[in-house]
Amino acid sequence: MGESHSDPIHYRSLCSVADAIHDGQISPVELTEKLLSRIGSIDGQLMSYATVMAEQARESAREAEQEIEAGNYRGPLHGVPIAVKDLCFTAGTPTMGGLKVLSDFVPGYDATVVRKLREAGAVILGKLNLTEGALSGYHRDFPIPVNPWGENLWAGVSSSGSGVATAAGLCFASLGTDTGGSIRYPAMANGVVGLKPTYGRVSRYGVLELAASLDHVGPMTRSVKDAAIVFEAIAGFDDNDPSSLRDSIPKIADSLTDEITGLRIGVDEHYLSNGSNPALVDAIHEVIEVLRKLGAEIVALTMPRSDPMELRNAWLPICAYEAHKAHSATYPSRADEYGGYFGDALRMGAAMSAQDYANSTKLRQKISEQYESALEEVDAVICPSGGSVFAVEKEVQYGNMEGLRSVIQNFQGQFTIPADLAGTPAITVPCGFSDEGSPYTVQFLGSRLSELSLCRIAHAYERATQWHHRHPTI
């Protein structure tokens, strides 16, 4: 089941509007004005944008329109309005990272991912809100993005603004970051596609660090092909990033078809169902049946048995230690400007010794080896994307580590943390809705550099269903 043009233009896929721009059916200027108008109309209630770059966006749209009219079409991002998480440096525009200590920080250059998006001709609408420092809680000086499926619903962790803006039709794609699940959790909460690439495939240069060895940058979109287009644009080797990989980037978007015959999809019934919402598990079983009918081989396997809190206890010390290093210029000298949760994490990192960090790294290696060994048996493993969306009070999300416990206990880290520890890719895709109308998503986990296979599987499933055509009513 292909692209529907019955959706309002703000809910159409990036691919669809790219075709419309290429064919002259709509201009980048017209499209940009429509999105800016929509942001002005409804983002006051959704709070997804930290900064709207209206005049820069208009200028970029005019340039794109002139280039396209002159026959200089750069590709499917040319003239398309998108937005980026407010961790990504944008020259001359604030990059705050949800941090009071950076509330007046204006970088002098673009992050590599932002530069690449501009080179592809994208129109950057603005910067998207997030949790403080990209961890789990918000700073009181910053708003909390509101889930468009229900104002009482959690909007996800740090890439919450990216998830909200994408789901609500306030951009045609966004960038998020994922250190412990922060592309996949908000993709789950807002019912959109989220692709966390292999560590090192997308440059982190000019992206505010949370934890250097865990941070990943990736796209959030309303279709799998859209995610592939953005991934191809931002991926590739970068001399400025010491963790950057030299592996060539596959041409994913043009190779996506409905054909997945022979691809092996691993299913561990205990892994995907233990502690999960039974209705979500039923929805994932329906996904499995769709994939089976599409020709995929469903393979029983055993994933490592890891308790979510045990994984968090392996992950959090590494994250806290590296975050403390990243914030050495402002912590502890300006400790009183940090919020509760992030402040607690920085205190944890400051109290750790080099040996503590080495011990956590050793545990990480053990977990990663077990996890990667299981992934190598198949083309992808199917599981939830970190659980299902839940109700949460706004005030709780401004709390410290103890205060946020009631929120964090809903995180199913066994589905998100291992891929960050191991640096392996994963993709989240909508797969249904609850009786109350909140979205369900499914996740496909893959071995290192398997973005092509993951997108093939996710795209074939998406094309066989209609979930990605259902949008929130705002």
**What is the CATH number for 431?**
3.90.1300.10
Tens of pLDDT along the chain (474 residues)?
Answer: 344 457 899 999 999 999 999 999 999 999 999 999 999 999 999 999 999 999 999 999 999 999 999 999 999 999 999 999 999 999 999 999 999 999 999 999 999 999 999 999 999 999 999 999 999 999 999 999 999 999 999 999 999 999 999 999 999 999 999 999 999 999 999 999 999 999 999 999 999 999 999 999 999 999 999 999 999 999 999 999 999 999 999 999 999 999 999 999 999 999 999 999 999 999 999 999 999 999 999 999 999 987 777 888 889 999 999 999 999 999 999 999 999 999 999 999 999 999 999 999 999 999 999 999 999 999 999 999 999 999 999 999 999 999 999 999 999 999 999 999 999 999 999 999 999 999 999 999 999 999 999 999 999 999 999 999 999 999
Amino acid, single-letter form, for residue 379: D
Does 385 fall in a domain? yes
Does 237 fall in a domain? yes
3-state secondary structure the chain: CCCCCCCCHHHCCHHHHHHHHHCCCCCHHHHHHHHHHHHHHHHHHHCCEEEECHHHHHHHHHHHHHHHHCCCCCCCCCCCEEEEECCECECCECCCCCCHHHCCCCCCCCCHHHHHHHHCCCEEEEEECCCHHHCCCCCCCCCCCCCCCCCCECCCCCCHHHHHHHHCCCCCCEEEEECCCCCHHHHHHHCCEEEECCCCCECCCCECCCCCCCCEEEEEECCHHHHHHHHHHHECCCCCCCCCCCCCCCCCHHHCCCCCCCCEEEECHHHHHCCCCHHHHHHHHHHHHHHHHCCCEEEECCCCCCCHHHHHHHHHHHHHHHHHHHCCCCCCCCHHHCCHHHHHHHHHHHHCCHHHHHHHHHHHHHHHHHHHHHHCCCCEEEEECCCCCCECCCHHHHCCCCCCHHHHCCCCHHHCHHHHHHCCCEEEEEEEECCCCCEEEEEEECCCCCHHHHHHHHHHHHHCCCHHHCCCCC
Does 431 fall in a domain? yes
Residues 6+ apart with CB under 8 A from 109: 89, 91, 206
- The domain in which residue 327 lies consists of 9-469
Is residue 434 part of the annotated active site? The answer reads no
Does 2 fall in a domain? no
Catalytic residue among 13, 27, 60, 85: 85
CB atoms < 10 A from the CB of 206, how many? 22
Catalytic residue among 160, 182, 360, 450: 182
Output the pLDDT for position 382.
Answer: 98
Does 244 fall in a domain? yes
Output the pLDDT for position 1.
Answer: 37
Task: Tell me the two tokens of residue 15.
Answer: 């691919």
Catalytic residue among 136, 158, 159, 385: 158
Does 4 fall in a domain? no
| Total structural domains within the chain | 1
Peptide bond preceding 332: is omega within 30 degrees of 0, i.e. cis? yes
Please state whether the predicted TM-score (pTM) of the whole model is above 0.85.
yes
Does 228 fall in a domain? yes
Output the pLDDT for position 214.
Answer: 98
Tokens 């940009």 sit on residue: 32
CA atoms within 13 A of residue 64's CA, in its CB half-sphere? 33
Q: Which letter, b or e, does each residue of 139-163 get, where b requires 16 or more Cβ atoms within 10 Å of its Cβ? A: beebbbbbbbbeeebbbbbbbbbbb
Is residue 100 part of the annotated active site? The answer reads no
Is residue 85 part of the annotated active site? The answer reads yes
Does 3 fall in a domain? no
With contact defined as beta carbons under 8 Å apart, do 204 and 215 qualify? yes
Output the pLDDT for position 5.
Answer: 57
